[in-house]
Structure 1
Amino acid sequence: MANRWGLRGQSTLTLLMACLLALIPALFIGWQALDDVRRHFATRYAEQYTLLHMQRILAPVSRELALSRRFADSVVTREWLAAPDDADKRERFFREAEGFRRQFNGDAYFVIHHASGDYYYNDATSPTSRLPRYRLSAEDPEDAWYFSTMESSASYNINVNVDAKLELAKVWLNVKVMEDGRPLGLAGGGLDLSRFLDDFLRDDTAGLTPMIVDARGAIQAHPDRDRVALSSGAREQLDGDTPKLQAMVDDPTQRERLEEAMLESRRRPGEVHTLEASIEGEPRLLTVGYIPELQWLLVSSLDLKTAPILEGRWFWPLVGALTLILAILMAGAAYGIDRLILGPLRRLQHSARAIADGDYGGHLPTERGDEIGELSRAFAHMARQVERHTQELEDKVRRRTRDLEATNAEMAAARRQIDASLEYASIIQRAILPSRQLEAHLEDHHAVLWRPRDQVGGDFYVFRATEAGYLMGVVDCAGHGVPGSLMTMLARAIIDHAILKVGPDDPALILNETDRQNRATLNKDTLPASIATNMDMGLVWVAHGADRLTFAGAKMSLYATDGDALEVHPGGKRALGQKRRMTYENQDMPLRRGWTYALCSDGFLDQAGGEQGFGFGNRRFEAMLRRHARASLPAQIAAFEAELDAYRGDYPQRDDITLLCFRSEATLEAGQPAPAPSTDQETSWTS
């Protein structure tokens, strides 16, 4: 062979170069590992930061709280608050309070007399004042913190608040002063809020934000003072405007995880719990620790993007070197593949395209001695075979095309004949519906929605006018399309015969006679089990001048509504022609003026639609009837059809739909005898 390496050797060399390209997934895996390491160190860093700051906060605040409790529990304090008018006790208290003031880090103390509401406050600017600064009032919203504190069950609280009357912003340590279960007042000290934030929360570390929250999530301290929930420590109930940590978390699931971490931290003081959450649209790593002595939670928010977790001095030069090596390897692989494989294959491709365009005389690279040359020679042989078979196939295609054109012409003619037959059947079925009879006798006090699923269907409506009154109803035969339309013709004849036999003024008797004749006409023993011959029917008889109507139904209900009330009168539970017989009975009920009465086949109720493809349903149908009950009947039918189409959307119509509505108006209640029906009217009412 001219080339002793051959295609196999060339492929081996190319594969070796491709192996070098495996550096790409290696780099990806390394990047993932580096990211995991970075996250691990970030988590440990945030946890240690939180533990350290918990200790930094605990020591000074615990000291202030202990001093405040000693100050409030002092015998001198209780004796003076119990007898504030005693001059000796008063002087003794203020001398001792001055000693406590010097020990407080905030260099200030306060005491409140519960009975009078007098508020005393002394700091370095007025260390010996004996007069109250102001008097608390339950009517003043700014004093609500005090009354909430005294009503709570806790003996103390730590409250971050701005005293507007003193114009001071402090972290107040409020301790109750009690005597035999009786409240005497409130006493304690306060840390300057700005100094507290500077000492414990304002940190120059990039990407790290510490904050203090209480057990409910109300923010007690934050580097941004606008986010502090002022006075929340003194309130047992928080309003909706109180700044809370949970409200800063965007995702509800992450919010639940944060609350679980806060609860778990309270259960296990000393442990720090970590979770990832999106804070105001930015991903953050949160660490939560609990300080039980202060009943505070310390939460640290770490931004992994800006936090200095890993140094980048060595990382980016390494990435640049690896990228350069990868580029060199890729260039070498591309040149080798193009030179050894892709170039010859492109020449073979050009020859193949020429053959595809009908040019079988093109030159193929058959002179090579490797696998590419063998492929070229095989391809040349194939091209000669393709040329011969193409000519034979073109002859066959011309013959088959002539045959197919003839067959298509026959099928088109048959299809036109079928469509014409269905259209003719639809015209006949529409012609025998009693639309003109209803219009002549009821005028605008009736309306009908009749929509077969196909051109013809198995639903129809009936009407007969006599000198005594009107009979009207809806019939839903089993099946739809051509089978359903045949059933309507048979059902018409059976119902017509039943009317002639029992009369039009007894709907239940008509149903029973129709059921009997249906069973006698259609012997189910001679029909396949898959063929259904049952039908749903609802009939209403209204006598002239009467204020009542008679209804009987077979698996069909009568609906009546005035827009406020809705009555549903169910018919018999079994359809006509079902295997198990039943005797249908009349229902006599008032015929109310202005009410809308409706009979509907199950095609409306079962129509699929909505997002899940469920049926329209009885509840939605009844609400629709009530909603449009006060409109005119034609407007009601238009609204019903629009709501059905909107609900159906892109779903196909599932069954035939018939809806008949009528009202008790002048036409129905005139009391005038209707003209005697002609022969045509007698034979067309059931269509």
Structure 2
Amino acid sequence: MINTKPTILLVDDSQVNLEILKDSLSKYITISALNGDTAIELALSREKPDLILLDIIMPGMDGFEVCKILKSNEVTRDIPVIFITGQNDMDSIIKGFESGAVDFITKPFNILELKARVKTQVAIKMARDQNKRLIQKIGAINKKLTDSIEYAKKIQTASLPKKSELDRLLPEYFVMLKPRDIVSGDFYWVSEVRGKVIIVAADCTGHGVPGAIMSMFGVAYLHEIINDKGETEPAKILDRLREIVIQSLQQDEKSEIKDGMDISIVTIDKEKNELQFAGAFNPIILIRNDFLNIYPADHMPVAYGEVDRSFRNHTINYQNGDCLYMYSDGYASQFGGPNDKKLMQKGFRQLIMDHHNLPMDEQKIQFENFLTTWKGSTDQIDDILLIGIRL
């Protein structure tokens, strides 16, 4: 059985004083030393004390030196030291506190005062030790969770399109994905069906682990709808995905889980120089001849909502050199700047206009640099996704 009584180390060159202290502190476990060397040795032992009562005037090392040595050692620095001594002049008291003591008891001591002061310091030490154990326990749990989430990030990253696949399917492009936490609720997805390239930019409800779970859900069902079933029309893809989300999460007007996705989907037909677009809250931007066009999304999510109708499909004829941007709301929602305000959609669109003539890889650098400067020391508040493609 583990003994939970606090241990007090008594250090005095008088055996009589040690016996008096032991009798006075009989409710605690006490160990004793007649000199500084023995005191340090006992303090460094495996069963180190919880409190030290230390005399000042002793042969060899005095109490001040012993205290300094204890406080300079990582193993013993947290053990509180109370000087119990006849040296009660102001210089000795100041020197004692400067050496690291927490309290002073003057000889001849009052037993009730001694017990009260010891009780207080022991209680503080026990509380501090308990906090330290809790912090260590929380740290261990946090590390285990973080390691699990880091591994989940590897799985999530593996589910995203490979760069080689993007290079094959897309012309000049960039992808900027910045999770707020380790894993992301924003994701992108690209595939090719019957010569048409389908591009998806999605923002799942939440971020972190809940958002990442929903993103994996979305990737799996996009694969089924597009690759397995062969659907290429963006609106029909969204209609089917919404049906699956509602059915799978058992959503209705009474359900607690209303999670879903805001998505923009573009299908590019290179032979016709035509793209189709449908969006759930997330619009797209197309820049042609230095003019920015916004193609609005439907104001309903890929989830159960107040509006229940089919998504609208937009057909757009594009020209070579047009710039297409697909994105989540994370970039525009980021706080920062001199007034610590959101960038907002107006600022975000102006940023796109300022840089759209640059090569796509340079645009990505500009967007990342601006975000870093804009954000400054402010925390990132949401996942961020931005895709740029020069058609």
Q: What's the TM-score once normalised by structure 2's chain length? A: 0.68
8 Å contact 1:562–1:626 — kept in the other structure? no
What's the secondary structure of 2:212's corresponding residue? helix
- Give the match for residue 219 of structure 2: 492
Q: Give yes or no for the alignment of 1:551 onto 2:277.
A: yes
Which runs of structure 2 are paired with 1:190-339 in the superposition (5 Å)? none
Q: Give yes or no for the alignment of 1:459 onto 2:150.
A: no
Q: What is the aligned-residue identity percentage?
A: 24
**Number of residue pairs the alignment of both structures matches:** 299
Q: Please state how far the C-alpha of 1:564 moved relative to its aligned partner.
A: 1.6
Q: Aligned equivalents of 1:472 and 1:551: distance in 2? A: 10
Structure possessing the higher relative contact order (Cα contacts under 8 Å, 6 or more residues apart): 2
- Give the match for residue 603 of structure 1: 330
Which residue among 384, 407, 413 is the counterpart of 2:140? 413
Quick one: which amino acid aligns to residue 609 of structure 1? G
Which residue among 364, 367, 384 is the counterpart of 1:640? 367
Q: Aligned equivalents of 1:527 and 1:410: distance in 2? A: 39
Which residue among 228, 238, 242 is the counterpart of 1:515? 242
Quick one: which amino acid aligns to residue 588 of structure 1? T
Q: Deviations over 1:448-472 (max 9, x none)?
A: 0001100011110010023422111
- Give the match for residue 312 of structure 2: 585
Q: Deviations over 1:528-568 (max 9, x none)?
A: 63x43121111111123221111111111111114621111
Which residue among 258, 264, 268 is the counterpart of 1:542? 268
Q: Please state how far the C-alpha of 1:495 moved relative to its aligned partner.
A: 2.4
Q: Please state how far the C-alpha of 1:611 moved relative to its aligned partner.
A: 3.0
Q: Give yes or no for the alignment of 1:565 onto 2:291.
A: yes
Which residue among 244, 252, 259 is the counterpart of 1:533? 259
Q: Please state how far the C-alpha of 1:614 moved relative to its aligned partner.
A: 2.4
Structure 2 gaps, min length 5: 1-87
Q: Give yes or no for the alignment of 1:505 onto 2:232.
A: yes
8 Å contact 2:93–2:104 — kept in the other structure? no
Which runs of structure 2 are paired with 1:96-245 in the superposition (5 Å)? none
- Give the match for residue 63 of structure 1: none
Which runs of structure 2 are paired with 1:668-683 in the superposition (5 Å)? none
Q: Please state how far the C-alpha of 1:350 moved relative to its aligned partner.
A: 7.4
Q: Aligned equivalents of 1:566 and 1:400: distance in 2? A: 63
- The alpha-carbon distance between structure 1 residues 349 and 629, as it changes in their structure 2 partners (threshold 3 A), is same
8 Å contact 2:330–2:383 — kept in the other structure? yes
Q: Please state how far the C-alpha of 1:511 moved relative to its aligned partner.
A: 0.7
**Which structure has the greater CA radius of gyration?**
1
Q: Aligned equivalents of 1:576 and 1:359: distance in 2? A: 70
8 Å contact 1:452–1:655 — kept in the other structure? yes
- The alpha-carbon distance between structure 1 residues 648 and 582, as it changes in their structure 2 partners (threshold 3 A), is farther
8 Å contact 1:502–1:509 — kept in the other structure? no
Q: Aligned equivalents of 1:425 and 1:405: distance in 2? A: 30
- The alpha-carbon distance between structure 1 residues 353 and 387, as it changes in their structure 2 partners (threshold 3 A), is farther
Quick one: which amino acid aligns to residue 543 of structure 1? D
- Give the match for residue 483 of structure 1: 210
Q: Aligned equivalents of 1:538 and 1:526: distance in 2? A: 25
What's the secondary structure of 1:572's corresponding residue? coil
- Give the match for residue 98 of structure 1: none
What's the secondary structure of 1:605's corresponding residue? coil
What's the secondary structure of 2:324's corresponding residue? strand
Q: Please state how far the C-alpha of 1:398 moved relative to its aligned partner.
A: 6.1
Q: Aligned equivalents of 2:313 and 2:136: distance in 1? A: 58
Structure 1 gaps, min length 5: 1-346, 364-379, 665-687
- The alpha-carbon distance between structure 1 residues 640 and 351, as it changes in their structure 2 partners (threshold 3 A), is closer
Q: What is the RMSD computed on CA atoms of the aligned residues?
A: 3.0
8 Å contact 2:197–2:268 — kept in the other structure? yes
Which residue among 339, 342, 345 is the counterpart of 1:618? 345
What's the secondary structure of 1:602's corresponding residue? coil
